[in-house]
Amino acid sequence: MKIGGKPYRTIWPNVDGSVEVIDQTRLPHRFETRRLATLEDAAHAIRAMIVRGAPLIGATAAYGMALALREDASDEALDRAHDLLAETRPTAINLRWALKRVCDAGRNRPREIRAEAAWREAALIADEDVETCRRIGEHGLAILRDAAAKKNGAPLNILTHCNAGWLACVDWGTALAPIYMAHDAGIPLHVWVDETRPRNQGAALTAFELGGHGVPHAIIADNAGGHLMQAGKVDLCIVGTDRVTQNGDVANKIGTYLKALAAHDNSVPFYVALPSTTIDWTLASGGLIPIEERGASEVTQMTGRLPDGSVVTIDIAAPGSPAANPGFDVTPAGLVTGFVTERGLCAASEDGLRALFPADGAVR
Which 63-92 residues touch ligand MRU, going by CB under 6 A?
92
Residue 234 backbone class (left: φ over 0; alpha: ψ -120 to 50; beta: rest): beta
Question: Which residue stretch of 79-87, 168-176, 311-319, 356-364 sits at the interface with ligand MRU (rule: CB under 6 A)?
Answer: 168-176
Residues 250-289 that bind ligand MRU (CB under 6 A): 252-253
Residue 329 annotated among the catalytic residues of the structure: no
Position with the least CB separation from ligand MRU: 240
CB atoms within 10 A of CB 213: 17
Report if residue 242 touches ligand MRU, rule: CB under 6 A: yes
Binding part of the chain for ligand MRU, among 161-169, 226-234, 259-267, 346-354 by CB under 6 A, reads 161-169
Check binding of 55 to ligand MRU (CB under 6 A): yes
The CA R_g of the chain, rounded to the nearest whole Å, is: 20
341 binds ligand MRU (CB under 6 A): no
By C-alpha distance, which of 229, 254, 226 is closest to 331?
254
Interface stretch with ligand MRU, choices 48-56, 65-73, 344-352, 356-364 (CB under 6 A): 48-56
Q: Are 239 and 348 within 8 A, CB to CB?
A: no
Nearest to 166 by CA among 121, 133, 214, 132: 133
Is 168 among the residues that bind ligand MRU (CB under 6 A)? yes
Positive or negative: CA dihedral 84, 88, 91, 94: negative
Picking from 239, 89, 214, the residue whose alpha carbon sits closest to that of residue 158 is 239
| Candidate list 171, 222, 242, 249, residue with the active-site label | 242
Q: How far is the CB of 153 from ligand MRU (least distance, A)?
A: 30
Q: Which of 174, 206, 300, 331 binds ligand MRU (CB under 6 A)?
A: 174
Give yes or no for residue 240 binding ligand MRU (CB under 6 A).
Answer: yes
**Residue closer to ligand MRU, measured from CB, 39 or 45:** 45
Return the SS3 of 289.
coil
At 161, give phi and psi (nearest 5°): -125, 145
Among 19, 53, 340, 341, binds ligand MRU (CB under 6 A): 53
Burial class (CB in 10 A: 0-12, 13-18, 19+), 169: buried
- Locate all alpha helices (DSSP H) within 150-189, ordered by sequence: 177-184
> Pairing mode, if any, of strands 279-280 and 243-245?
parallel
Which residues are 20's β-sheet partners? 12, 35
The site string for ligand MRU over 96-135 (x = CB under 6 A, - otherwise) reads ----------------------------------------
**Active-site residue list:** 242
Give me the residues that bind ligand MRU (CB under 6 A), please. Answer: 52-55, 92, 162, 164, 168-169, 174, 201, 240-242, 252-253, 327
